[in-house]
Chains A and B, each alone.
Chain A
Amino acid sequence: MTASTADVLDYDEVLARFDPVLGLEVHVELSTNTKMFCGCPTAFGAEPNTQVCPVCLGLPGALPVVNGAAVESAIRIGLALGCDIAEWCRFARKNYFYPDMPKNFQTSQYDEPIAFDGKLDLELEDGTVVEVGIERAHMEEDTGKSLHVGGATGRIHGAEHSLLDYNRAGVPLIEIVTKPITGTGARAPEVARAYVTALRDLLRALGVSDVRMDQGSLRCDANVSLMPKGTTVFGTRTETKNVNSLRSVERAVRYEMTRQAAVLAGGGEILQETRHFDESTGSTSAGRRKETSEDYRYFPEPDLVPIAPSAEWVEKLRATLPEMPWQRRKRIQADWQLSDLELRDLVNAGAVDLVAATVDAGATPNEARAWWVNYLSQEANTRGVELAELPITPAQVARVAAMVADGKLTNKLAREVVDGVLAGEGEPDAVVAARGLEVVSDDSALYAAVDEALAAQPDVADKIRGGKVQAAGAIVGAVMKATKGQADAKRVRELILERCAG
């Protein structure tokens, strides 16, 4: 189902009439060695049903045992988000039938999450800081993966049958739920994106997850509702799933705002429902209406005993928390002597880690920033990918920067080398060799080219000899053309003046 424009209200009109309320639920797959409740590996991309055992296949009689490392990750995430850690909590069973769930219940946490009541500060592009309240972070397990066969697009709708792979079933998940986010107005979509970005950076710094939205190790469900301006009672919310990139988070929230506003403006009612985001159209569509109301019949998981983290344990884990992304940004700003604007550009480009790694590999902060924030950001934009997904590494960028510093490459040549790396032509040195890009630094070759150019334009040569030094530009251009840009223009100019002086 594709939405036509008539289904949505103009964004400015939405904001004139309504205030949006957001609630974001993020599921993070932990990068533990083994699953939440069994010893099966969690590696991505294995042959189907090869990382399974009686426990995660839900075989009769099998029993779960909690992965201690997953609990530690959960507590560390909770601490990093400023949450309280429960002194005592349990797992619960969330009962519903679905073929990708081997036991037909999800072992999760219900009214006793391990971490609760925290916050996350995030910075918008213009530097505005927004504090998002964290309701809870709880532990649960992932489901298997289904492949739909026979439908038009491999989608579930219209499929004739499905194929199930349970490798992912039981992978530890942490579900992080925000408190309602209000008062963001027109910036709600931007806030949603910034929240997921900030959370991703935090999780990456903690080293608890791969946080790959494209591989599903970070997933976001966006709850959106509208309340008419001047009221304080939340409207009915929808939950949009299937939001697989940062950009989609922003688009999905914006679309839901305009869609809901159109429904409400037309006198309609918002249905509390799950909606699915379609990347290609940028719109959301309603899920299948269930004939029975959702009733998960939660009860404490009798196969697992309660978790009661001691204060000593929690403090020990607190001591392992790395520098948080916002602390790091402050430090970097000081170390690299960046203006607020330069720092913001760096952060907005998503380049902090990459620049830092490039600096670690030997480049100066300015060189590294110039490459990532200017040249490579544009390239990523053109390709429609995240900066980090470009096929070039910080070490490669540092190498190119070093060659420029050494005078082996001009800036122009350096860009060609980078293009070559991006095109898959290998390491920078290999690209230089293969494309023959090295600066012509052999003066005898340059003398020849200079002499030839002076001979070809005797009138210009005379002017230079006559003291019109600025006329040398025309000869420099001719030499550069003759050497296919591989000469260092500064040096060429020196040689021209030397020749004409003689």
Chain B
Amino acid sequence: MSDLTHSTAAELAAKIHAGEVSSVEVTRAHLDRIGAIDETVHAFLHVDTDGALAAAQRVDDDVAAGRPVASPLAGVPLALKDVFATEGIPTTCGSKILENWIPPYDSTVARKLRDAGVVVLGKTNMDEFAMGSSTENSAYGVTRNPWDLDRIPGGSGGGSSASLAAFQAPLAIGTDTGGSIRQPASVTGTVGVKPTYGGVSRYGLVAFSSSLDQGGPCARTVLDAALLHEVIGGHDPLDSTSIDAPVPPVVAAAREGAAGDLRGLRVGVVREFTGEWYQDGVIAAFDQAVEALRGLGAEVVEVSCPHFDYALPAYYLIAPSECSSNLARFDAMRYGLRVGDENGNSAEQVMALTREAGFGAEVKRRVMVGTYALSSGYYDAYYGQAQKVRTLISRDFERAFGDVDVLVSPTTPTTAFRIGERVDDPVAMYRADLCTIPANLAGTPAMSVPAGLSDDDGLPVGLQVMAPALQEQRMYKVAAAYEAARDKAWGGPLINRVPELEVAAR
């Protein structure tokens, strides 16, 4: 176990900028770790060794020359979800249809990372086109949860969450359409943040569901997530839905929260997020976390958001509808896989054969559900109604935030389930997103912070903290305060309890 791979991003940045350690050393340590254990974990789809070392060298050159570093995270390695276009580096979205596709352009997130001197180690595994809650839907094999290799690391950003829990990277980027940052964070004992919709540019983020997708930071600590949030956030003229406002002061909030004083803060517990689908150990850990918030001086009240029960069905209409349109471009004409271009097959036949061969079962399922929901005759009953549910959910949030500063709930109803357990039961799989979806539908920010381990299986549980739009600093403050209290109670960071992974023979 190397010190460097077990450090936080904030610690690494401080050492690199002070010249105590070079970014190249830090980067090599992480590349070595990836080399040693990724055969087991399979968090990465592509490792960009040369690019990472070159980026690290540039930071080291700045430090050596006494030039100001590009950002507070300059020189720190990061794992990037393979759903962001990266110029010259393969981008597959976990799909066969994009195997070997090398984008001719950079996503805004990738560009901001490069500009900030963040060292992108490579691209992480994910459910195909971000559709899934387990990363089992990747065309390139499953990613394993470092806490228990037989279990899923969450999804769709399982590669990013696993890379953090496996100490392959101190920072990662995910995308959250229905919980794909928060649920993986929850089941891997890491921190994951879905910013306000429009807070992080979607330009170059390969779209799953455009009105819900949001990129965001993943890390092992709340402060690290905040530092990354400030690097990737902000207005982008290339994204029409990007908010033209300053990034909320999340780093300051995380530092302030770490002092552990939540007096004067009102916390709402969402009454609807409990019941038959919730694991006992998850509820128990959540209740303890709520107690801890009280202990920090917060006033805790119960809040009802009656329409949250309809969030899941609304989501499973809106997201498939939008994806059926977004994924139409994968048609074998301009890029990506082409199958069946022989025997005089027409373009239409080649499109259908390619999409049949290139998409996995979950993608096809959702494309067909979405095609159905948008069809004339069904639109009003399905898509139209789902859009109205969205309005009701936003109103629930507004009402709740009229009364409390933040809302809390478990991030996901269960701890990490076993690989294969829900593969043939899509509806059971969808329930993993029960608590995370309302924030996507309303566009409001939410995050997951580790809330201890479930007493029934010893696996991580996540505490979800939700805030009003553009009020991210509130949830960072609460999460940082809770994190400090939790570490005190557990006698150290929870993440250090990840079992030692066997290093693959070289």
Contact = CB atoms under 8 A, between A and B. Distances in A.
Direct contact of A and B (CB under 8 A): yes
B240 A303 contact: yes
Contacts of A59: 85, 103-105, 334-335
B206 A60 contact: yes
B321 A63 contact: no
Contact of A62 (B203, B374, B375): B203
Given A93-B325, A164-B333, A63 B376 contact: no
A177 B379 CA distance: 25
A116 to B, nearest CB: 22
A162 interface: yes
Contacts of A105: 325, 328
Interface string B173-214: 000000000000000000000000000001111110111000
A54 interface: yes
Given A61-B107, A63-B203, A299-B374, A97 B240 contact: no
B61 to A, nearest CB: 31
Contacts of A295: 375-376
A65 interface: yes
Contacts of A99: 331, 333, 347
A105 B103 CA distance: 21
A97 B351 contact: yes
A82 interface: no
Interface string B59-102: 00000000000000000000000001100000101000010010
A95 to B, nearest CB: 5
Contact of B375 (A54, A57, A297): A297
Interface in A388-412: none
Contacts of B85: 54, 59-61
Nearest to A57: B334
Interface string A283-324: 000000000000101110011110000000000000000000
A295 B370 CA distance: 13
Given A103-B328, A295-B375, A304-B240, A63 B202 contact: yes
B432 to A, nearest CB: 24
A91 to B, nearest CB: 10
Interface string A55-92: 00111111111100000000000000000000000000
Contact of A303 (B206, B241, B324, B331): B241
A302 B322 contact: yes
A93 B328 CA distance: 12
B103 to A, nearest CB: 7
A102 interface: yes
B241 A65 contact: no
Contact of B211 (A64, A102, A302): A302
B348 interface: yes
Interface string A449-479: 0000000000000000000000000000000
A99 B348 CA distance: 9
A66 B383 CA distance: 25
Contacts of B428: none
Interface in B99-158: 101, 103-105, 107
A149 to B, nearest CB: 13
A64 B104 contact: no
A345 B238 CA distance: 52
A104 B328 contact: yes
Contacts of B107: 61
A65 B240 contact: yes
B106 to A, nearest CB: 10
Interface residues on B, range: 35 or more
Nearest to A53: B105
Interface in B379-434: 379, 383
Interface residues on A, range: 20 to 34
A26 B91 CA distance: 41
A104 B331 contact: yes
Nearest to B85: A61
A284 to B, nearest CB: 24
B479 to A, nearest CB: 29
Contacts of B204: 54, 61-62
B491 interface: no
A63 B240 contact: yes
B241 A97 contact: no
B371 interface: yes
Contacts of B239: 63, 65
Contacts of B103: 54, 59-61
B207 A61 contact: yes
B329 interface: yes
Given A59-B85, A60-B103, A302-B210, A65 B238 contact: yes
Contacts of B205: 61
A54 B376 CA distance: 31
A65 B237 contact: yes
A102 B333 CA distance: 9
Given A58-B334, A61-B103, A297-B371, A95 B328 contact: yes
Given A54-B104, A61-B205, A162-B347, A102 B325 contact: no
A63 B107 CA distance: 10
A93 B370 CA distance: 14
A299 B329 CA distance: 17
Most chain-B CB neighbours within 10 Å: which of A57, A99, A102?
A: A99
Contacts of B93: 60
A6 to B, nearest CB: 33
A103 B206 CA distance: 13
Contacts of A54: 85, 103-105, 204
Interface in B207-253: 207, 209-211, 237-241
Contacts of A103: 328-329
Contacts of A95: 324-325, 328, 374
A58 B325 contact: no
Contacts of A304: 240-241
A101 to B, nearest CB: 9
Interface string B356-379: 000000000000000100111001
A53 B203 CA distance: 13
A305 B334 CA distance: 28
A57 B105 CA distance: 12
A58 B205 CA distance: 13
Nearest to A162: B347
A95 B374 CA distance: 10
Interface string B330-361: 11011100000000000110010000000000
B321 A97 contact: no
A99 B204 CA distance: 22
Contacts of A302: 209-211, 241, 322
B483 to A, nearest CB: 33
Contacts of A305: 240-241
A304 B84 CA distance: 20
A65 B238 CA distance: 7
Nearest to B101: A60
Contacts of B105: 53-54, 59, 62
B290 to A, nearest CB: 35
24 contacts: A54-B103, A57-B334, A58-B334, A59-B85, A60-B101, A60-B103, A60-B207, A61-B103, A61-B202, A61-B206, A62-B204, A63-B238, A93-B325, A97-B348, A99-B333, A105-B325, A295-B375, A295-B376, A297-B371, A297-B374, A297-B375, A299-B321, A299-B325, A304-B241
Interface of A: 53-54, 57-66, 93, 95, 97, 99, 102-105, 162, 164, 295, 297-299, 302-305
Given A303-B207, A303-B241, 19 more contacts: A53-B105, A54-B103, A58-B334, A59-B334, A60-B329, A61-B85, A61-B107, A63-B202, A63-B239, A65-B238, A66-B240, A95-B324, A95-B328, A97-B351, A105-B325, A297-B376, A299-B383, A302-B210, A302-B241
8 shortest interchain CB distances as A-B pairs: A104-B328, A297-B374, A302-B211, A302-B210, A61-B204, A60-B206, A61-B85, A61-B206
